Structure 1
């Protein structure tokens, strides 16, 4: 394969295939052939040199501290005991002690003393935890890098798990737009566009569609939930800075996928302050027919979890399934008192059966706060009305709600 072809296939992701060989086996093969591989941690810098990847164990011999070191890009069979003064990796040492303290602090005092007083080396259970935590940290970092390669929006994505040993979710593929299933066409092209010089005052796309202009001068949503958003499209004469182009520009915020401490699995929190009524993200996934959604829904009942979202703005023909294919919204949890609200959006594809699903903030959101929306899709906050109910996801199993809100309904 030529370098140009290799670069092209890597950019397209075509080289990513399952492999039965372990990382250690692949590392050894690469070193024998003098090949570098960023994914395996083998670089020109450490091809013939040693760089600490993580610390596995600790012991004291004759009053001297030693650490068992896993070398980056080398299999575990090459791990060596090194005196502390040889290690120049203060950050990795800090992580080692942090993991050790976390594990021991969760034990009963008598048990903790028994596990750490052995001067030869750490108890096997402690060392195993530290190694698993180090491997998890590496896997999550790789996943974080993969997410940021695949995303198309400006905000950065981060991954964090300080709760358990779970790594990246299996069988999940990050996408930025709807993925059409066989027999479904999600691509549309607007026939006409506006010719406004000022979309606030001109006869813009919303007016042509017979609806209200959705945004104020700060690009914040000003219409009630249940009403559609018609943004300017590819045929419009207005430029990219048009105030009626919000959702199509993608999420502007840096977000963190994190492991929740309350048993809700993964969640999403914002790393930036978000103003009230601001666009936060789209809900994307595989677009399937309602019949296929019914079939998949019965399978999902066994787990009590579903990512099915009905596109029933005017009809109930299609459903979005974000179980395997989705973006960061796949990890957003439910709350009975959410800070995000759902809106139907039309841009280039004006097929009323296939609206895009946008999530806007219902109130000011602080940096570090978890993002949530109501899986029953009822309006919330001062944007809601009692009669509105938007696109309920198909749920047959009554799952206990753990949102902790004062108005929690008890079940999803």
Structure 2
């Protein structure tokens, strides 16, 4: 059956008036649940870290956090990295609960002497800390390990026992994120290790080129081997909470190489220790370029260099003597 529709009347569009609102509509701001959700997500990541709690006090900068970063408890070996075979490693034979570090075979010897280089002493409140004279050295810390006959309470197992201080990621005034402790830290006390992917030098060079002007998280394990054979730690995608430690030209912490598998000269740990007594809540910093030589590296600030913002009286004005912390030869 067909249906007949009445023909619509024509109207002049110019004569058609639409009613106007008596007040301007302003959409309300939605509740900011996203930032809170991101903060809770990151706190969950921090809960996975071994040891005392790691806190997150960056409510207004949550969106700047790299959520693709993964916290790890040891190095992640990349292709091409070959550890020394386990059969080459050995431990001490002290057969006591706690080693006498003056005769234990783990600490290194003074050159041309039978005397051992003892790294640790007992500090305040029974804490084992680095000796003052050792902190002035450029020496590897050789600790006892699971291969040794001593017990886990041996004073030469400081780094092996792990972090003992509570840490907090916070937002600095002018340098992005930073790291501080909720505990007072005494001079020589162990804080934590720097971790990440362990790379060959060639892979590290390729990554350095690819990241362009972004921050570098590369540290060379060049303490005992020459530049061509060195492995490199990359803390960009994987690592520990120490990746948030900022540079200072007047630092309160220092990075020391530490070995537990003494036969391997290419793979060892990078451990942070306090250089001075650090009150709770003070930012933890270290020198990104501790071997800075004004004669070799120059006193003038490179206009293309990464600017230093530590604001210390002895500030060098730049983090490195060139634009990037390069791993390649000049």
Change (3 A) 1:397 1:200: farther
Pairs within 5 Å for 1:163-312? 163-164=60-61, 166-186=63-83, 189=86, 191-196=89-94, 197=96, 198-200=98-100, 203-207=103-107, 211-218=116-123, 219-222=128-131, 223=134, 224-262=136-174, 264-303=175-214, 305-312=215-222
Quote the Cα distance in structure 2 between the aligned partners of 1:373 and 1:289: 25
Q: Which moved more, 1:218-227 or 1:204-213?
A: 204-213
Contact 1:225/1:343 (8 A) holds in 2? no
Given the superposition, is the C-alpha separation of residues 242 and 188 from structure 1 closer, same or farther in structure 2, using an over 3 Å criterion? farther
Point out the more displaced range, 189-198 or 327-336: 189-198
Does structure 2 retain, via aligned residues, the 8 Å contact 1:275–1:363? Answer: yes
User: Aligned equivalents of 2:173 and 2:85: distance in 1?
Assistant: 42
Gap change, CA 1:345 and 1:193, over 3 Å in 2: same
Write the deviation string for residues 70-104 of structure 1: whole angstroms up to 9, x where unpaired: xxxxxxxxxxxxxxxxxxxxxxxxxxxxxxxxxxx
| Alpha-carbon distance, 1:142 to partner | 2.2
Alignment correspondent of 2:235 = 322
Shift of 1:397: 5.7
- Report the more deviating stretch, 229-238 or 181-190: 181-190
CA distance in 2: counterparts of 1:201 and 1:399, whole angstroms: 42
Residues 274 and 287 of structure 1: CA distance in aligned 2, closer, same or farther (over 3 Å): same
* SS in structure 2 at match of 1:295: helix
Q: Alpha-carbon deviations, 1:93-120, whole Å to 9, x = none?
A: xxxxxxxxxxxxxxxxxxxxxxxxxxx9
TM-score calculated relative to the size of structure 1:
0.61
Hey, what's the Cα distance between the residues in 1 that align with 2:27 and 2:189?
50
**Distance in 2 between residues matched to 1:158 and 1:145, nearest whole Å:** 10
Q: What are the Cα deviations for residues 202-227 of structure 1, in whole angstroms up to 9, with x where unaligned?
A: 63133466651210123211213411
Give me the whole-angstrom Cα distance separating, in 1, the residues matched to 2:27 and 2:250: 45
**1:334 and 2:243 aligned:** no
**Alignment coverage as a number of residue pairs:** 271
CA distance in 1, matches of 2:308, 2:101: 45
Whole-Å separation in 2 of the counterparts to 1:173 and 1:405:
32
Compared with structure 1, are the counterparts of its residues 401 and 343 closer, same or farther at alpha carbon in structure 2 (3 Å cutoff)?
same
Structure 2 unmatched runs, 5+? 1-22, 111-115, 295-302, 320-330
1:181-237 CA-partner distances (Å, limit 9, x unpaired): 012134764632212224125631334666512101232112134111110011211
Determine which structure has the larger helix proportion and give its number: 1
Could you list the per-position Cα deviations for residues 220-266 of structure 1 after superposition, in whole angstroms to 9, with x for gaps in the alignment?
1121341111100112111110000000111111101112221x221
1:3-402 aligned within 5 A: 127-128=29-30, 131-132=31-32, 134-149=33-48, 151-152=49-50, 154-164=51-61, 166-186=63-83, 189=86, 191-196=89-94, 197=96, 198-200=98-100, 203-207=103-107, 211-218=116-123, 219-222=128-131, 223=134, 224-262=136-174, 264-303=175-214, 305-315=215-225, 316=227, 317-348=230-261, 350-378=263-291, 398-402=305-309
CA distance in 1, matches of 2:262, 2:107: 17
Name the larger-Rg structure: 2
Conserved 8 A contact 1:136-1:167: no
Shift of 1:350: 3.3
Seen in structure 2, the aligned counterparts of structure 1 residues 187 and 281 have a Cα distance that, compared at 3 Å, is farther
Q: Distance in 2 between matches of 1:364 and 1:136?
A: 36
Any conservation in 1 of the 2:101–2:118 contact (CA below 8 Å)? no
The answer to whether the 8 A contact 2:252-2:274 is kept is yes
**Contact preservation (8 Å) 1:205, 1:231:** no
**Partner SS, residue 256 of structure 1:** strand
Hey, what does 1:100 align to over in structure 2?
none
Tell me the distance in 1 between the aligned counterparts of 2:65 and 2:106: 41
